[in-house]
Structure 1
Amino acid sequence: MSPRLPRLTPDRLDEAQRVLYDAIAGGERAKGPQHFPLAAQDGALNGPFGVMLHAPDVGAALQELGTAIRFRTDLPPRIREIAILQVAHALGSEFEWWAHERVARAVGLTDAEIMELSLGCFRGEDPVEAAAAGFVATLLHSGTVSDQEFAAAARLLSSRQLIDLTVLVGYYRTLAQLMTVFAVGVPAAEPGT
Structure 2
Amino acid sequence: MASGWNDFCGIIRDNNSIPADMRELLILRSGTLNNAAYQWIQHEPVGRSAGLTTEQLLEIRLTPAFLGPVSPKTHLTPALSAAMNFADWVTKAVYVPQPVYDSLKKYLSDMQMVDATATVGGYNFVSRFVVALNVDGKMDTPVPIPR
TM range (shorter): 0.7 to 0.9
Answer 1 or 2: higher relative contact order, Cα 8 Å, separation at least 6: 2
1:25-44 CA deviation, whole Å, 9 max, x = no partner?
Answer: xxxxxxxxxxxxxxxxxxxx
Counterpart Cα distance in 2 of 1:135 and 1:172:
14
Counterpart Cα distance in 1 of 2:59 and 2:53:
10
Query: Is 1:88 aligned to residue 39 of structure 2?
Result: no
Partner of residue 178, structure 1: 129
Partner of residue 112, structure 1: 55
Q: CA deviation at 1:153?
A: 2.2
Q: Which has the larger radius of gyration?
A: 1
* TM-score, normalised with respect to structure 1: 0.60
Counterpart Cα distance in 2 of 1:63 and 1:69:
10
Counterpart Cα distance in 1 of 2:51 and 2:103:
26
1:143-186 CA deviation, whole Å, 9 max, x = no partner?
Answer: 10122322222222211111111111121112112212221245
1:89-132 CA deviation, whole Å, 9 max, x = no partner?
Answer: 00000100111111111222111111111113564442222222
Provide structure 2 residue ranges, at least 5 long, that are not aligned to the other structure.
70-74, 139-147
Counterpart Cα distance in 2 of 1:157 and 1:127:
12
| Percent of residue pairs identical | 25
Counterpart of 1:149 (choices 100, 117, 136) is 100
Partner of residue 160, structure 1: 111
Higher mean C-alpha displacement, 127-136 vs 96-105:
127-136
Contact 2:30–2:91, Cα closer than 8 Å, also in 1: yes
Aligned alpha-carbon RMSD (Å): 2.0
Q: CA deviation at 1:86?
A: 0.3
Query: Is 1:72 aligned to residue 23 of structure 2?
Result: no
1:1-193 matched pairs, under 5 angstroms: 52-53=1-2, 60=4, 62-120=5-63, 123=69, 124-183=75-134, 184-185=136-137
* TM-score, normalised with respect to structure 2: 0.77
Contact 1:89–1:120, Cα closer than 8 Å, also in 2: no
Counterpart Cα distance in 2 of 1:185 and 1:128:
34
SS at match of 1:101: helix
Q: What amino acid does structure 2 have at the position aligned with 1:71?
A: D
SS at match of 2:39: helix
Counterpart Cα distance in 1 of 2:12 and 2:79:
19
